Amino acid sequence: MNIVDTLSRKFVDFADLDKSKIDLWDIAGGLSKICRFAGQIPCHYSVAEHSIIVSEIILLLGYSKRTAKYGLIHDATEAYMGDIPSPVKLLCPDYINLENKLMVKIENVLMPENGLSKYEYDIVNSVDKQMAHLEIDHFRNGKKSPFIQCLNSNQAFTAFILQWGKLSS
């Protein structure tokens, strides 16, 4: 079976990706419950919290709300497909292909305003990579970041939805 049941009861069929099944609340709910680094860190630090911080850093660097909005949803596929650590994901080309197809659907639903430029994608990818270093320093090297709070899943869900609203106004 190629179907994932979501919180909103919108069944996502990976054999026939239907953009009408994409739901911001499902994304926020899923990402708020998925722990970064396969859970191999001392607290629940969710993909949702990571995404919020990426979007905030993009704003702090002076980029547009639109770019920050993409920063917020850059890992949205993980709400439907789970989070696979990058070293493992690189060994799974079929997974990456499916993830890319799903991301196009998510972008079409949540950011339909003509897609993003390569420049905007590059900004988000750069901040995401910098964020990974900040997270490693925080969790492994004792260099605590004021950005990382280890929100519980309810807090992360609420913060994600509020961040989306802030970026959409």
pLDDT tens figures, 119-143:
999 999 999 999 999 999 999 999 9
Q: How far apart are CA 138 and CA 123, in angstroms?
A: 22
Q: How far apart are CA 38 and CA 59, in angstroms?
A: 28
At residue 8, what are phi and psi to the nearest 5 degrees? -80, 0
Q: Are 73 and 51 in contact (CB under 8 A)?
A: yes
pLDDT tens figures, 15-43:
666 777 789 999 999 999 999 998 999 99
Q: Where are the domains of the chain?
A: 3-168
Dihedral sign, Cα of residue 84, residue 73, residue 160, residue 77: negative
pLDDT confidence of residue 131:
96
Pick the CATH number of 3-168 from 1.10.3210.10, 3.40.430.10, 3.40.109.10, 3.20.20.10: 1.10.3210.10
pLDDT confidence of residue 1:
45
**Pairing, β 12-13 against β 3-4:** antiparallel
> DSSP class of residue 77?
T
Rounded to the nearest integer, the mean pLDDT of the chain is 90
* pTM across the whole model: 0.90
At residue 37, what are phi and psi to the nearest 5 degrees? 55, 35
pLDDT confidence of residue 15:
67
Checking if the pLDDT of 10 tops 60, the result is no
Specify the amino acid at residue 101.
K
